[in-house]
Amino acid sequence: MNYRSTRGSDKRITAAEAIIWGLADDGGLYVPELFPLLTEEKIAELAGKSYQERAAYIMNLFLDGFDSEELTQFSNLAYSEPGYDHPAIAPLYKLDNNTRFLELWHGPTCAFKDMALQMLPRLLTSSLRKTGESREVCILVATSGDTGKAALEGFADVPGIKIMVFYPRDGVSDIQKLQMSTQIGNNVNVVAVEGNFDDAQTGVKSIFSDAKLRDELDRSGYFLSSANSINWGRLVPQIAYYVSAYCDLLAEEEIIPGNMINFCVPTGNFGNILAAWYAKKIGLPINKLICASNRNDVLTQFISTGTYDRNRTFFTTSSPSMDILVSSNLERLLFELSGKDGEATREYMSALSRLGRYEIPPATKDEINSVFAGGWCCEDDTMTTIADVFYKNGYLIDTHTAVAYKVRSDYMSETGDETLTVVVSTASPFKFCDSVLKALGRQVIGTGVDLLDELADISGCDIPASLSSLRKKQPRFTGSVAKDGMKSAVKGFLGVR
């Protein structure tokens, strides 16, 4: 199976090339030309397997040119203790008869991005070998928090790869800052940018599009690549946990083969929920995908009106990983639902960059509505939901997961759809201690790691080891640069003059 761009170019490339390049030459995203099929029998068979075996199987369906032994080995290494603190890797928690939480935060950085970023470096290294690339790759990341640390953990000390992370100096939480600045590894660098997330991201984008710099790096034996969520190598490992959740329900005899379930996903860049859509596309029995947003409800509006409009106020919320106005991965869905029309997709994206908005035709909107429901949750309801779930059920959730749970409850009362729903839980509550403590009615005194114990005391939950160990660690990276100093920081790190 080959890959093609969403923007219509005729070029076909291999899975390894799609993983190395990330973005197509015409600005589009890579999508598989054909979709594999996951049969009911196969799903039943996978129900008897481990998470690692399920993940290797699903990746093998999509990644031609990779063999199953290699993928099994990667899966065993990526999803294992002690990096993961739960033997099931992505366990389901039963809240009530028709509600489960899929806990995707048992990895080394306590957020769901580990599910992809523990795998991507292995896929990338192997892809470089397959294509005969001799240069060394430097991964550049601009992060608003979760991605940076997950990428650092994934790429630390991977041979042939260097990684440099830029984060906004005043735009990440204390814990996130500490997680990144204490990162170990001989190939990593972390720099604070004097500005906000947009400044960091704009800086990284301009480094990528700097042809002169590209030549200089090339002469020194380097090229740049990105680990952001549009990379196909991040999406494929995410398809696996949707299949795995279904398999767990089968194995526990909560459903029988063929039963439909819903997933509700707290959404930002549309990567996680798109992976669920791919799972449905290849045959996983999914009824509805519920797309949950916080106050930045651009996707809710899009699903209900068919118009995507980013010309609106940007809000900073307690679920920062969903504070996004342009959900890049939506482009892949538009491409598929417009009948693989690259021309149409290119026009939507061009309108988005020129006018900040685009409108899809009624037929495409109907397609979307047949699978997706959308909803959003305000800040007050996020807080109330955390408290409700904790005091009624004794289960502690983070802010992102609370948004999803509330949106799912609203969906259920509006539609009467009582299909068993898996709410995707994307971060450990300990990663967002101050919001969670506030939600539980505590006055928050102190910051960062000081709050871990308090949350543990109130909730009776264990602090994830990777967070409690932060208290003993010394920051290694304390430097910051001005916005226009990012390029020289990259050259300095790579020793290029």
Ligand X SMILES: *Cc1c(COP(=O)(O)O)cnc(C)c1O
Sites of contact with ligand X (CB under 6 A): 111-113, 146, 229, 266-272, 321-322, 400, 426-427
**CB of 112 or CB of 222, closer to ligand X:** 112
Q: How far is the CB of 171 from ligand X (least distance, A)?
A: 15
Q: How far is the CB of 350 from ligand X (least distance, A)?
A: 23
**CB of 17 or CB of 103, closer to ligand X:** 103
Other Cβ atoms less than 10 A from the Cβ of 6: the count is 26
**CB of 99 or CB of 321, closer to ligand X:** 321
Question: What DSSP letter does each residue of 436-497 carry, written as one string?
Answer: HHHHTT----S-TTHHHHHHHHHH-PPPPHHHHGGGGPPPS---EE-GGGHHHHHHHHHT--
On the CB side of 474, CA atoms within 13 Å amount to: 1
Q: How far is the CB of 439 from ligand X (least distance, A)?
A: 16
- The C-alpha atoms of residue 30 and residue 3 are separated, in whole angstroms, by 6
**CB of 336 or CB of 398, closer to ligand X:** 398
Q: How far is the CB of 321 from ligand X (least distance, A)?
A: 3
On the CB side of 220, CA atoms within 13 Å amount to: 18
Helix H segments across 258-315?
A: 271-282, 298-305
- The C-alpha atoms of residue 283 and residue 38 are separated, in whole angstroms, by 5
Question: Nearest CA to 138 among 179, 166, 115?
Answer: 166
Q: How far is the CB of 357 from ligand X (least distance, A)?
A: 20
**CB of 6 or CB of 229, closer to ligand X:** 229
Q: How far is the CB of 103 from ligand X (least distance, A)?
A: 12
**CB of 181 or CB of 321, closer to ligand X:** 321
**CB of 7 or CB of 113, closer to ligand X:** 113
- The DSSP 8-state label assigned to residue 111 in this structure reads B
For the range 304-308, what are the long-range contacts, defined as Cβ-Cβ under 8 Å and sequence gap of 24 or more?
304/374, 306/359, 306/360, 306/361, 306/362, 306/364, 306/365, 306/368, 307/357, 307/358, 307/359, 307/360, 308/348, 308/352, 308/357, 308/358, 308/359, 308/360
**CB of 292 or CB of 452, closer to ligand X:** 292
- The C-alpha atoms of residue 279 and residue 348 are separated, in whole angstroms, by 25
The pair of structure tokens assigned to 237 is: 């490992």
Q: How far is the CB of 135 from ligand X (least distance, A)?
A: 30
**CB of 254 or CB of 379, closer to ligand X:** 379
**Residue spans of beta strands (DSSP E) within 249-401:** 261-266, 286-293, 307-309, 357-359, 372-376
**CB of 99 or CB of 267, closer to ligand X:** 267
Q: How far is the CB of 440 from ligand X (least distance, A)?
A: 19
Q: How far is the CB of 428 from ligand X (least distance, A)?
A: 9
- The DSSP 8-state label assigned to residue 430 in this structure reads G
Q: How far is the CB of 159 from ligand X (least distance, A)?
A: 28
The pair of structure tokens assigned to 402 is: 């609370």
The pair of structure tokens assigned to 298 is: 């651009």
150 touches 188 (CB < 8 A):
no
Q: How far is the CB of 78 from ligand X (least distance, A)?
A: 18
The pair of structure tokens assigned to 228 is: 């952001």
Cis-peptide, bond into residue 82, ω within 30° of zero? yes
Instruction: Specify which residues 101 forms β-bridges with.
Output: 93, 423
**CB of 119 or CB of 494, closer to ligand X:** 119
- Give the chain's radius of gyration (CA, Å): 21
